[in-house]
Structure 1
């Protein structure tokens, strides 16, 4: 991830997520395999090593897994969330009571592998469009309970975040339009309802709908399942609507933003970005991201 300011996670949220995962894994009787085979006096050193190229995300959750299970465990991060890593590179070291190291291992790795996978997959999309001004952004299609940390991982991978939930921005979709009676009326109703800090976006599936939306002045327009040719035309319509030159169009933040969605993958995102849209939303960076292969290699003292 480029830039000096990286996203951060709330320690309270981290502890809640990790505590729930530990309770789920340890159940009623705890780690009976470790209790049966490892004496309480045993200590261990362990390294969390990447086995693939990727972007790291989730170290605060891995740290919390060990800390919550045994505060005596020492966790030393050797990289930072957002760093790109290579196969064989150590990400962190853990030292302390062997029982706690072994019992916290899977929860720590589950969070670290999944979130690093999201960050790494996002980075592949972001790298494809780095030569444009477009940004790849996630959606609300996330694993239940993990939305905040998955969106955190998206940002670490170079993507941007769409709304977090139904309560922080208005996105008028096709079903809202169908029930409310039209694009313009839905936008005007949303404007009348929302506070002045709440953004309003509307989804359109054709250029005539887009023109109707422009007249009602939402903050953003989502161009759903349009071809690259249609997207280029939409960008041109938007530019002329604002009376901007080609050079000025990309530099004016106050204009209506355009977001492309639908049929977005690693093979199509470059052509979509080169049409001039501002954002490209896809659920793939959260819902289809493979985990990053990370292992915990342990050595008894």
Structure 2
């Protein structure tokens, strides 16, 4: 390659899914100093063979950015696709959220992909909310003590969530006047039973071991939110490729 060849790189979907990555393609085109045309809007359901976008200009520049762009767009589209599948399963009866189990350096992008797929964002940062988990309870000595410590330092607008596993822990969390109770690794039957102990003003979140395949079992459990770490930590990328056209040296 002489560096003078010019042509077009076409982003093509190789399987059905939800397209996510318009800003990645556009911003990388700017960095590479190539022209960009977006053919499909963010969040569109695409089928195999759909032309998503095009870069045109120096093929050397296009090829230098091809793999980075594809890696990011494939991953984000995979997240958006899996999120859409989860959202369709629950059909508006319960809210689907992500978790903080994201790829280092890609949290904002991956959480954006979840929203594109129709899901919601859980905490983006540790200080977005207080989440008291089993290790925090162990250190503090009890749920009551952990919540009291959190309330002493957190602002009045900061919600407090507690992860529980047993009926006794549910009752203690309710008595501590938390905002959100997370039922972790419970069966649908157990969740329905524990939900009866929790006042309606306290949000109930489910987490732990729930997958797309088992999601439908939890929809009518009485919970308000299901957080799925699998949306980001073990998602399968959507198959997207770049097809190069052109390559002949410009005639001056």
Q: Could you say which TM-score interval applies, normalised by the shorter chain? A: over 0.9
Equivalent-residue separation in structure 2 for 1:135 and 1:207 (angstroms): 24
Q: Give TM-score scaled by structure 2 length.
A: 0.94
Q: Which protein has greater RCO, CA pairs closer than 8 Å, 6+ apart?
A: 2
Q: CA offsets, 1:186-230, max 9 Å, x none?
A: 112212210122111000011221111111111101001111111
Equivalent-residue separation in structure 1 for 2:168 and 2:94 (angstroms): 23
CA RMSD, aligned part only? 1.4
The answer as to 2:107 corresponding to 1:109 is no
SS at match of 2:110: helix
The answer as to 2:90 corresponding to 1:144 is no
Partner of 2:244: 298
Equivalent-residue separation in structure 1 for 2:106 and 2:93 (angstroms): 29
Structure 1 gap segments, 5+ residues each: 1-36, 243-254
SS at match of 2:49: coil
Partner of 2:226: 280
SS at match of 2:126: coil
Partner of 1:92: 53
Give the number of aligned pairs.
Answer: 247
Partner of 1:121: 82
Equivalent-residue separation in structure 1 for 2:101 and 2:126 (angstroms): 12
The answer as to 2:129 corresponding to 1:163 is no
Structure 2 gap segments, 5+ residues each: none
Q: CA offsets, 1:89-127, max 9 Å, x none?
A: 111111111211111111111111111111111111221
Paired residues of 1:133 and 1:276 also in contact (CA < 8 A): no
Per residue, is there more strand in 1 or in 2? 2
Equivalent-residue separation in structure 2 for 1:66 and 1:107 (angstroms): 12
Partner of 1:69: 32
The answer as to 2:3 corresponding to 1:57 is no
Equivalent-residue separation in structure 2 for 1:90 and 1:42 (angstroms): 23
Q: CA offsets, 1:242-289, max 9 Å, x none?
A: 5xxxxxxxxxxxx11000111201221111121121111121110111
Q: Give TM-score scaled by structure 1 length.
A: 0.79
Q: CA offsets, 1:115-169, max 9 Å, x none?
A: 1111111111221111x52112111111111111111111111111111122221
SS at match of 2:96: strand
SS at match of 1:149: helix
Deviation at 1:41, TM superposition (A): 2.6
SS at match of 2:53: strand
